[in-house]
Amino acid sequence: MSEIIEIDGTIGGGSVLRLGIPLAIALGKSLRITNVRQVKERRKGLQVQHLTGLNFLTQLTGSQLLGASIGSPEVYLTPGNTTPPPNFLPKIQVPTSAAVSLIIQIVSNYVFASRKPIGFEFEGGGTHVSYSPNFDVLLQVNKPLFEMFGLKMHIQLVKPGFFPQGGAMGRVYMEPVPLSKTILTSGEIESIDVISSASSSLRAQKVAEKQISGFKSVLKPDRTFAGYADSVNPGYACSGIIKYKSKSFKGVAKVGGQNDSPIDIGKETAKMTKDERDNPASVDEQLADQLILPLAFAPSGSQYTFDKMYEHVDTNLKVIKYLMGDILDLQKENGIFFLTKK
């Protein structure tokens, strides 16, 4: 019987699960995570957004996950070794507006680590919701950066999903591509774009155009994209995308609520974009933690930079060390963190 690795979940929140479980499955290591989401979270233990992705992955790989229930403070993984058949696209039913991007994050972590392709269809869930990358950022920022680190994403969004009902529909297929040494730098900006997405029911109110107007009042973009799509319930979101001539990317997003002004959402997105523009780091806050696992499997010398020791970054670095050892080097110079594959 293989050694059981134990991780105290108090080192972080849901990112311990999103990284630890798929990585352990790919490495064939048994894993126990205790004290799951017991420190800062209002709703303790496992929640829908964790269970949906973890249950899908464990079933697909023939793994067993004990404790996989709402509110559970502890899970125990016995990894399987089942390989999904090529071009197999099972359907995931995502309840309410649980973030689809977090499910993609769980599955992509497994694909990065296992080098095995996985695809799925999703029905339900949110694609433009708070506290997770929205699909505009996912397509314009995560997708090209992930490919640089060895994973190609094919995403077809049929219907977006907004809080509170979700109701999104789409397809995702992820496959490994050849690895090469990758060093992300910032430097000269090639373009700053704003993407304004809204439900078709908000077209008459010109919500998408108002978000762009608000953005432009703070920061002049190179290009603007306003789009409407049918959705289960009304919703809207604004995203700022920075592309560097070095081929790195940054993305920020703001989701509008029922009592928000679309113009104000555009302004806030522009302010966040300006902050990233003025930040010398090569990636934004969300990518700073999401690229840790890809970096762990990248060729030696691969590197990116970020500006703060964010909580999820600290958590993911610890999870990688638990499961893979001391394979990453972290240095700080002139207020910027340099993370390098040894």
Cβ contacts of 145 within 8 Å, gap of 6 or more: 184, 248, 249, 283, 287, 291
More confident residue, 234 or 45: 234
Q: Domain boundary at 223, 244, 277, which?
A: 277
Say if 57 falls within a structural domain: yes
Say if 303 falls within a structural domain: yes
Question: Is pLDDT of 1 > 70?
Answer: no
One domain, residues 241 and 101? no
Give pLDDT, residue 12. Answer: 84
Give pLDDT, residue 305. Answer: 98
One domain, residues 293 and 337? yes
Give pLDDT, residue 227. Answer: 97
Distance CA 341, CA 233 (A): 44
Residue pair 155/166 in contact by the 8 Å Cβ criterion? no
Give pLDDT, residue 39. Answer: 65
**Structural domain containing residue 325:** 4-179+283-341
Average pLDDT over residues 12-25: 94
| DSSP-derived pairing of the beta strands 118-126 and 91-99 | parallel
* Burial status of residue 27 (CB atoms within 10 A of its CB: 0-12, 13-18, 19 or more): middle
CATH code, domain carrying 158? 3.65.10.20
Tens of pLDDT, residue by residue over 218-276, are: 999 999 999 999 999 999 999 999 999 999 999 999 999 989 999 999 999 999 999 99
Question: Is pLDDT of 86 > 80?
Answer: no
Distance CA 139, CA 184 (A): 18
One domain, residues 127 and 245? no
Question: Is pLDDT of 155 > 90?
Answer: yes
Report the percentage of the chain scoring pLDDT > 70.
98
Among 123, 147, 28, smallest CA distance to 83 is for: 28
One domain, residues 174 and 72? yes
One domain, residues 303 and 159? yes
Cβ contacts of 314 within 8 Å, gap of 6 or more: 11, 12
- DSSP H helices, the chain, are 15-27, 48-61, 100-114, 135-137, 143-148, 207-216, 262-277, 285-290, 292-296, 311-324
Give pLDDT, residue 40. Answer: 65
Give pLDDT, residue 85. Answer: 81
One domain, residues 263 and 294? no
Least confident stretch, 88-92, 143-147, 157-161, 214-218:
88-92
Distance CA 288, CA 292 (A): 7
One domain, residues 201 and 65? no
Cis peptide before 85 (omega within 30 of 0): no
One domain, residues 174 and 225? no
Say if 132 falls within a structural domain: yes
Give pLDDT, residue 187. Answer: 94
Q: How many domains does the chain have?
A: 2
Give pLDDT, residue 208. Answer: 99
Give pLDDT, residue 331. Answer: 98
Cβ contacts of 155 within 8 Å, gap of 6 or more: 135, 138, 139, 143, 170, 171, 172
Say if 162 falls within a structural domain: yes
Q: Domain boundary at 230, 246, 277, which?
A: 277
Report the percentage of the chain scoring pLDDT > 90.
88
Band of residue 2 on the pLDDT scale cut at 50, 70, 90: low
Say if 214 falls within a structural domain: yes
Question: Is pLDDT of 76 > 70?
Answer: yes
Say if 184 falls within a structural domain: no
Tokens of 203: 């077209």
Per DSSP, the three-state class of 168 is coil
Tens of pLDDT, residue by residue over 329-339, are: 999 999 999 99
Average pLDDT over residues 17-37: 95
One domain, residues 254 and 293? no
Give pLDDT, residue 48. Answer: 81
Cβ contacts of 282 within 8 Å, gap of 6 or more: 184, 185, 186, 244, 246, 248, 304, 305, 306
Q: Domain boundary at 230, 250, 277, which?
A: 277
One domain, residues 173 and 194? no
One domain, residues 144 and 238? no
Cα torsion angle, 317, 151, 103, 62, sign:
negative
One domain, residues 41 and 139? yes
Per DSSP, the three-state class of 166 is strand
Distance CA 36, CA 222 (A): 44
List phi, psi (to 5°) of 211: -60, -45
CATH code, domain carrying 250? 3.30.360.20
